[in-house]
Chain A
Amino acid sequence: MRSRYSITLRIKRYDPDRKRSWSQDYKLEAGRILRFTDLFRKINNELDPTLAWNSSCEHAQCGTCAVKVNGKPLLACELLVENAVAFFGTTLFRVEPITIAPVVRDLIVDLEKAYERIEKIKPYVIDPVENPHPGNAYQVSPRDLEHYVEATRCINCFCCATACISSHRGFMGPNAVLASVVRIMDPRESAKAERLDMLYSDQGIYRCHTSMACSFVCPKEIDVAHFIALAKAGRFGAKGRK
């Protein structure tokens, strides 16, 4: 096992003031278990304070640090140097912003824009079913919950939407579908018809061509394509009201 690596990060940069993009190489000596977010910090502290990058919790729980490394969308906070070397078989890493929204600067994209897709499908209970025991919790059987609990784990990192070719062409994107499916399967939601209308709209699931790239890249290991397949198979009842 090697203890240190000499690596190069070839980072795609963008300066909004000059509207200029370029790629810049940063050569680093890095310990084996440093994560890519640690490397970005190291670049700021030792080489170049102007490199802009996003993160928040750095525990793989918030999905803020998604970037593309050698083409693969992933969370920078959980990519360790030695794993990256082993996985990609190189010490040269091309780091680019995810491609789901306009770039603000360097690795930072306009997540607000990306989130518009999620907001559009109404990520809440639109119309709750009547609670048989007001003042108490609804009863939800753990068996029912099990069917959709995976979909509730999504952290909206947009890795799947970046990998999905269709989501660059008018499709609402895999994570928006997930957010919608959660409430379709949630027994507490009554507005199923409205939700199905959205799901089967012209930005809906028929734009997906089942490449399963979403399931492949999801850092939370959610089988996104499975839920899309359920929707396509009509498992959620009638197809809209049109």
Chain B
Amino acid sequence: MIHLHVEGEAVNSKLRIHETIKCDVLIIGCGGAGLRCAVEIFEKMPGTRVIAVTKVPHPQKSHTSTAQGGLAAVDPDDPVDSPAYHMFDTWKGSDCMADQNIVKKIVESAWTQVIWLENHGMHFSRDEAGNLSKRTFGGHTLNFGQSSAFRAVFEADRTGKGIVDTLWGEALKGGISFINQSIATELLFEGKRCVGAVIFREKYGDFVKVLARATVLATGGSGQMFRVTTNCRQNTADGLALALRAGLPIMDPEAVQFHPTGIVGPGILASETLRSVGGILRNRDLEPFMERYAPRMKELAPRDLVARAIEKEIREGRGVLNPDHNVEHVWIDLRHLPDYVHDVQIPEVTGFFRRFVNIDPRKELCPVRPSNHYHMGGIPTNEFGEVQRGAKETVPGLIAVGECAAASFHGFNRLGTNSLLELITMGKIAGERIIEYLSQDPDTLPEVSPERTFSLFARFMDEKGEENTGRLRQEMQAVMTEKAGVFRTEHGLSDAVDSLRELYERAGHTSLSSKSLRMNQELVQRWEFDNLLAISMACALAALNRRESRGAHFREDFPERNDEFNHHTLVYMSEFGKVDFGKRPVDMSIYAAGGENYEKFGLIERKY
């Protein structure tokens, strides 16, 4: 037993392993990625003992359930679309940073996975003939950029929910055991092999050790690094932090996507349709400012350009302050649009403005601002989802899938509808890999003990001072939004790094109001804050290091892409703020194969 310096015997004695559970596969995260992986295992190897952990009170509450738009997949019966076009769009969107072996694998298996979901009961929207409906989505084209492709299948405005409902049901059928409202606090290793994790069960306030022959990280996004985000409350980059603490690298943490028009406050997406149907962006003086930034395209300019224009208006003092949420924004003007457009083309978004900011878009201006949306970076994996220790070597027994992983399918900029696709394809591929691994691996599990969890939690219990974690977190979010968000500069990023160090220091002076372990959200928030600080730091340092602009990463002082940086960033962090960088080459196997249209997969320009 480790000796702890914790106040009071009671707490001290609770910082121990309450129970050890053994299983074949431990899945950390029950969104689309984790559940798809679980179901694959049950289908191919019924009877496998799978335990899945989720931070939310129930798997159905995972963030995938919030995804609306759809999921991209080329229907082989489509007379005009082709996987090659989808691969090209993804490659171009990624700003030449997606790995082509992954792109090929995912795009080619897409339709089969859509059919699998349908056959298992997902309620896709249908066309008149009873087949799956399809719609267009930004960045998805036919003929290498010529016209929009009808490539996104969907379940009304709740595609992600359809996926989670279906997968959760199938996982139940397969006999999964869930550990809900619980957090994985540490990965366990025997030598270099991952053999499970420590789980803190919030409801009971105790720690269990789950020993597993294979462990899957599927913890989702990290949006809580930023002030206004479309992400859920639980997206605090836990999986990435677990990897870093285990001495493993994370890849491309600087690749963070911002959506130009999140609704002020809750950060709900006001879809791009608003701009395509004629919505006009206006600043404090009601000037239609896009004319200055993109005289020809105006509101229809690509996502990142619009986001930068809005951010610039705000930074130059032409934004509007919302007093309630205390955030600055611009307006989107929809008042001039005919009723037909409001009723038929944008009813959902109109509903969001009504519901969440009490505004009638027919009569009033609507407040929007760039919002954090997606983390392209994550835990580096190969094409099977196996976690990498460096550019090549993998970690036996450890898999990562979904938004927390970087294979990388999205490179430096993700196309809409490509994330849900990644979950269901890579989730399955990872499941297959695990089955192979299980059949080779001897069915023995070593007795290992946690090394970090208890000292970390004892530290949180022990900290004394006047600081409040919630407020510190708000400060961190403000720093990241201002200095490491849509616009980045050498100076701003250096400032951010300094501020993060200071916040880390101050976090040591928070004191918990309650030392109970049972459903102590302040304690969990303290733990999450450590994760957020670590990943924010990795993001800021990697952004500082990348002196170029690429995809969603925009350096005002280096506005052009530079081939010198044509590689993934690997970041290792031995202690807070102390990082080592590594590189991973970008796979260009489609280009190298020299087949038909191979030249489209070279280092092409990302111009729309």
**Contacts from A to B (Cβ < 8 Å):** 3, 15-17, 30-35, 38, 41, 44-45, 48-50, 52-64, 77-78, 80, 82-83, 104-105, 108, 110-112, 115, 119, 122-125, 128, 131, 135-142, 145, 149, 152-153, 155-156, 182-183, 186, 188-189
Contact = CB atoms under 8 A, between A and B. Distances in A.
B471 interface: yes
5 contacts: A15-B516, A57-B61, A57-B66, A128-B119, A138-B119
Contacts of A45: 468, 470-471, 474
A77 B356 CA distance: 8
A61 B158 contact: yes
Given A125-B120, A137-B124, A152-B123, A34 B57 contact: no
B586 to A, nearest CB: 33
Interface stretch (B126-134, B249-257, B280-288, B377-385): B126-134
A91 to B, nearest CB: 16
B341 interface: no
A125 B121 contact: yes
Contact of B65 (A16, A34, A62, A136): A62
Contacts of B114: 137
Interface residues of B, number: 68
A188 B249 CA distance: 45
B516 A17 contact: yes
Contacts of A35: 265-266, 356
B337 interface: no
A105 B205 CA distance: 12
B232 A104 contact: no
B266 A55 contact: no
A62 B61 contact: yes
Contacts of B156: 149
B81 interface: no
In terms of DSSP, what is the predominant structure of the interface of chain A? loop
Nearest to B68: A61
A58 B267 CA distance: 9
A137 B131 contact: yes
Nearest to B57: A111
A112 B58 CA distance: 7
B130 A124 contact: no
Nearest to B156: A149
B121 A61 contact: no
B491 interface: no
A44 B521 CA distance: 10
A201 B63 CA distance: 34
Given A56-B63, A112-B58, A115-B58, A139 B234 contact: no
Interface stretch (B44-52, B164-172, B434-442): B164-172
Nearest to A146: B126
Given A3-B323, A140-B126, A54 B57 contact: yes
Given A35-B265, A35-B356, A123-B172, A61 B123 contact: no
Contacts of A156: 58, 60
B482 interface: no
B242 to A, nearest CB: 20
A137 B323 CA distance: 50
Contact of B355 (A50, A78, A141): A78
B469 interface: yes
A41 B470 contact: yes
Given A44-B470, A55-B233, A105 B518 contact: yes
A142 B65 CA distance: 23
Nearest to B166: A124
B180 interface: yes
A50 B61 contact: no
Contacts of B60: 62, 115, 155-156
Contact of B126 (A31, A58, A108, A145): A145
A149 B357 CA distance: 28
Contacts of B128: 142
B519 A52 contact: yes
Given A45-B470, A142-B130, A123 B169 contact: yes
B325 A60 contact: no
Nearest to B526: A49
A163 B439 CA distance: 50
A49 B203 contact: no
Contacts of B126: 140-142, 145
Contacts of B131: 137, 139
B61 A140 contact: no
Nearest to A153: B158
Contacts of A153: 158
B187 to A, nearest CB: 24
A148 to B, nearest CB: 8
